[in-house]
Amino acid sequence: MYKVLLTERIDKTGIDILSKVAQVDIAPDPSEKTIVSMVGDYDAMIIRATLLTEPMLAAGKKLKVVGRHGVGTDNLDIPAATRHGILLLNTPGANAGSVAEYTVGALLYLFKRFAEADRMLRRGDFNQPGSLTGLLTKLGFENRVVEGRTIGLAGFGAIARRVAKICIHGFDMKVLAYDPYVSEEAMNALGVQKVASVKKMAPLVDALTIHVPKTPETVNLINSEIFSAMKPTAVLVNAARGGIVNEADLVEALKNRSIAAAATDVYDQEPPPMDHPLFALDNMLMTPHIGAASDGAMQNMASYVARGVVDVLEGRTPQFVVNRELLKKDG
């Protein structure tokens, strides 16, 4: 019987799939020291947020495959795994619905200014004579409609396509997108207009949402130059990865009202330090990387990665391979 090591617990859906062909063990903790001491006896390993390092891979003398429970690959040492001949898998699309819902929910939150309205009511600002409409005007409060606005998508993968569908069919929005790897024809077929760069898209949109992976090319993709080009009424939503948006530049843009508001679910450092300047801003929504943390997404990611691992162990070609050059070598 095969042996599979989980660095962190995954949903029972995935464990049940693995248990049909393998002994499944969960590491007592995901530290490099613990994994290095255990992994030598295992045919496969599944990780979530754990950083996959060269020492772990070198210690995995029997490892055929490492599955990433999630989409992002920035915690994987891909070159090292490839050198050791270990296939890397991930789960693209498994959390697309959940993260798309988060993105649109954050967009509505920012446009409707729910947090400000809640604070105003709690401190008694509405306990004044006069019409509600007049009071809102006096307080300088208005929320904005989403319907008919223009949204820009940085990246056009599975999550962005879900966002586009919701925005087009739910809110009659105009959708622009930047993605050098997706053709204009493919975007047009979904009712989306392709734009040559984020910089060119920035001044055209009422909302900018981030959907690119974190790579050397996308680090600091959203920076002071982009914020300066955006409308002062525009908002930003990032549920992709920390480091894609330059946090220092975002703080300045929000302080100076270069943009109206922002929401982020991801950070350069996770968790962010409690003295992070973003915490001091009232036009900032911050959440603790929960975009993909829905029941459906967790079940999908667990089942996708488990099926991929079983495919490798039983000699089949898995669907989602990160280092596909190993497949060509084997073929």
At 324, give phi and psi (nearest 5°). -65, -15
| pLDDT tens string 294-319 | 888 999 999 999 999 999 999 999 99
| pLDDT tens string 132-151 | 666 666 666 677 899 999 99
Residue range(s) in the chain whose domain bears CATH number 3.40.50.720:
2-94+295-330, 96-286
pLDDT of residue 124: 80
β-sheet with 261-264: strand ranges across = 193-194, 174-178, 150-154, 207-210, 235-238, 261-264, 284-286
pLDDT beyond 90 at 331? no
Average pLDDT over residues 17-31: 98
pLDDT of residue 329: 65
- Tell me which CATH code domain 96-286 carries: 3.40.50.720
| pLDDT tens string 149-205 | 999 999 999 999 999 999 999 999 999 999 999 999 999 999 999 999 999 999 999
Average pLDDT over residues 82-87: 97
Confidence of residue 125 (pLDDT cuts 50, 70, 90): confident
% of the chain exceeding 70 in pLDDT: 95
Average pLDDT over residues 15-39: 98
**Cα-based distances in Å from 225 to 222, 230, 241, 249:** 8, 9, 19, 9
Instruction: Give me the architecture of the 2-94+295-330 domain, per CATH.
Output: 3-Layer(aba) Sandwich (3.40)
H or E element, residue 26: strand 22-26
Residues carrying an active site annotation:
241, 270, 289
Q: What is the mean pLDDT of the chain?
A: 94
